[in-house]
Amino acid sequence: MAAKNDQVLSGGSVGAVLAQRARFDVPLRLQSGAELPSFELAYETYGRLNPARSNAVLVCHALNASHHIAGHYADDPENVGWWDNMVGPGKPLDTERFFVVGVNNLGGCHGSTGPMSINPATGKPWGGDFPVVTVEDWVAAQARLADFLGVQRFAAVMGGSLGAMQALQWTISFPERVGHALVIAATPKLSAQNIAFNEVARQAITTDPDFHGGHYYEHGVVPRRGLRVARMIGHITYLSDDVMMEKFGRELRRGTPGFDFNIDFEIESYLRYQGDKFSTYFDANTYLRITKALDYFDPAAAHGGDLSMALAPARARFLVVSFTSDWRFTPARSREIVKALLDNRRDVSYLEIDAPHGHDAFLMDDARYFAAVRAWFGNMLLEGPEQ
C-alpha cells in the first residue's frame, strides 16, 4: 500500500508564486441589496491557460483559507498554500495540464476587499459597516475575475466544505460557464446544529469588549478573546471524536491531574494553540461574515425547499465526495445533492471515502480520495487543442 500511496500522492510543487490583485470598477450589487461601487480580488494562478482557454480550474476556499492554494512565496518559503498536496505538477489537480485559479473571497482578510478595506464613503475602514456577503455574491465576484482572466468557461470549479458550496452555486448561477464541478464534504444547507455552532462563535466575538460593533480597528484593538474561542469551537467540529481520541486521548501533560485550570489534557493544549494562532492573523469581521454566508446558503429555499428544482439549471458533470466520519456535513448531506442531480439526469459520480479524520478529511492525503480526483481530472476532456 505504501508504494501505491507514494504514487497517488506524488507530484511536485508549483514553486514560488506571486499573489496578484484585480480591480473591478463596475459596481457590484449584493444579495442584501447593498452595492459595492468597486472592489478588488486577490488571486493566484498556477500553470498556463491554453490557447483554447479551456483548461482553467477555479478552486474555491473554505472558512479560513485564501487565494494561496499551492506553492510558497519567495520571501516567505514556509507559507505553503493550503491545498498544496492536491494542486501542483503531477498532483491530482495537475498544473502541467490545468490553469488553476485561486481567489480570496469578497469580505475576506487576505487581500480582497473586505471589512479591513477603506470604505470610500468615509475614508475609514469599513469595519462593522462592511455588508454581509453570500455564496451567490462570491460567485458573482469570481465571475468578474474569470472575465478579467479571459476565461469564458471553467473546465472545472472545485472546493471543499464552504468551497464546495461555491462550486455548487457556480453550476446554478452560471451553468454554461462550468464544465465540471467537484463538490467535496458539502451540504446543500446547514442544519440547525451547524448554525448553532456558528452562532456561538459569533456571540463569542461580538460580546468581546474589544469588538466595538466591528469598529475595533479605530480603537487599535482586536476582539482576540472572542476570535480565539470561535476558532476553538470550529476545530472541534472539524475533527471526528475518534481521531481526536486517537491523536490526543486522555493524555495528561503533567502526568497527573493538576487540580487547577492550567492545561491538563493534550486536547486543551491543541485547542489553545489553534485559537491563539488564529486570533493573531484572522480578521473577526471576516469570520462573522463567512459564518453568515454559510448559514444563508440554501439554494433550495427559493424553490420551496426542492433541491432538485434548485439544481435543474446545472449543466456540469459532477464529482461529489464525502467522508464517513464527517459529522459536520455528513455523507447523508452529500447524498441529498447526488439525489437532486440524478433527479435532473445529470452526470454525477459519488464517492464516500471511509476516512477517520472527520470534516478535515477533505484537506488530508488519502490514497483513495486523491486517486479518484486524479483520475477524474485525468479523464476530463477539454475543448480544443490542449496546448
Choose one: 8-16, 42-50, 264-272, 371-379; the region binding a second copy (CB under 8 A).
264-272
Residue labelled with grid coordinates 478529511 = 361
Alpha-carbon distance 306 to 295, whole Å? 18
In the complex, what is the shortest distance from the CB of residue 63 to a second copy, in angstroms, rounded to a whole number? 17
Please, are residues 87 and 63 in contact by the beta-carbon 8 Å criterion?
no
Question: What residues contact residue 229 under an 8 Å CB cut-off, 6+ apart?
Answer: 201, 204, 275
Give the side-chain half-sphere CA count within 13 A for 324: 8
Asked if residue 343 binds a second copy (CB under 8 A), the reply is no
Task: Please answer whether residues 102 and 43 qualify as being in contact, where contact means their C-beta atoms are separated by less than 8 angstroms.
Answer: yes
- The CB density around residue 53, as the number of other CB atoms within 10 Å, is 18
Contact map string, positions 96 to 135, toward a second copy, x by CB under 8 A:
-----------------------------------xx---
Q: Out of 4, 29, 253, 272, which residue is the one contacting a second copy (CB under 8 A)?
A: 272
Q: Which three cell numbers stand for residue 197?
A: 455552532
Residue 198 carries which side chain, given as an amino acid letter?
A: N
x/- string (CB under 8 A) for a second copy, residues 14-33?
-----------------xxx
Nearest to 71 by CA among 49, 50, 87: 87
Q: What is the CA radius of gyration of the chain?
A: 21
- Choose one: 84-92, 105-113, 162-170, 292-300; the region binding a second copy (CB under 8 A): 292-300
Active-site hit among 54, 66, 359, 366: 359
Q: Nearer to a second copy by C-beta: 38 or 207?
A: 207
- 134/34 Cα distance (integer angstroms): 12
Determine which residue in the list 193, 277, 378, 381 makes contact with a second copy, applying CB under 8 A.
193
Shortest distance in whole angstroms from residue 21 CB to a second copy: 26
Q: Is 35 in the site for a second copy (CB under 8 A)?
A: no
Closer CB to a second copy, residue 292 or residue 335? Answer: 292
122, 145 Cβ separation under 8 angstroms:
no
- Rounded to the nearest whole angstrom, what is the least distance from the CB of residue 219 to a second copy in the complex? 14
- Helix, strand, coil percentages, rounded to 5, for the chain: 40, 20, 45
What does the alpha-carbon distance between residue 319 and residue 107 come to, in Å, rounded to a whole number?
A: 28
Q: Please, which residues have CB within 8 angstroms of residue 193's CB and are 6 or more apart in sequence? A: none
Pick between residue 96 and residue 276 the one whose CB is nearest to a second copy.
276
Q: Shortest Cβ distance from residue 309 to a second copy (Å)? A: 17
Active-site position among 208, 264, 283, 326: 326
Choosing from 185, 271, 355, 363, the residue that interacts with a second copy (CB under 8 A) is: 271
Q: Beta-carbon neighbour count of residue 309 at 10 Å? A: 16
Is 202 a binding residue for a second copy by CB under 8 A? The answer is yes
List the grid coordinates of 369.
480520495
Hey, CA dihedral for 287, 290, 296, 298, is it positive or negative? negative
Q: Please say which residue, 116 or 181, places its beta carbon nearer to a second copy.
A: 116
Compare residues 75 and 260 and give the one whose CB is closer to a second copy. 260
Task: Check residue 268 for interaction with a second copy (CB under 8 A).
Answer: yes
- Which CB atom, from 86 or from 165, has the smaller least distance to a second copy? 165
Measured from the CB atom, the residue of 87 and 205 that comes closer to a second copy is 205
Q: Taking a C-beta distance cutoff of 8 angstroms, is the pair 365, 88 a contact?
A: no
Question: Is 161 among the catalytic positions?
Answer: yes
Q: Residue from 18, 123, 250, 385 that binds a second copy (CB under 8 A)?
A: 250
**Quick check: is 359 catalytic?**
yes
3-state class (DSSP) for residue 194: helix
In the block, cell 494562478 appears at 45
25 vs 261, beta carbon nearer a second copy: 261
Interface with a second copy, residue 34, by CB under 8 A: yes
Interface residues with a second copy (CB under 8 A)? 31-34, 131-132, 189-193, 195-197, 199-200, 202-204, 206-209, 225, 228-229, 232-233, 235-236, 239, 241, 244-245, 247-250, 257, 259-261, 264-268, 271-272, 275, 288, 292, 295-296, 298, 301, 327
Q: Which residues are the active-site residues?
A: 161, 326, 359
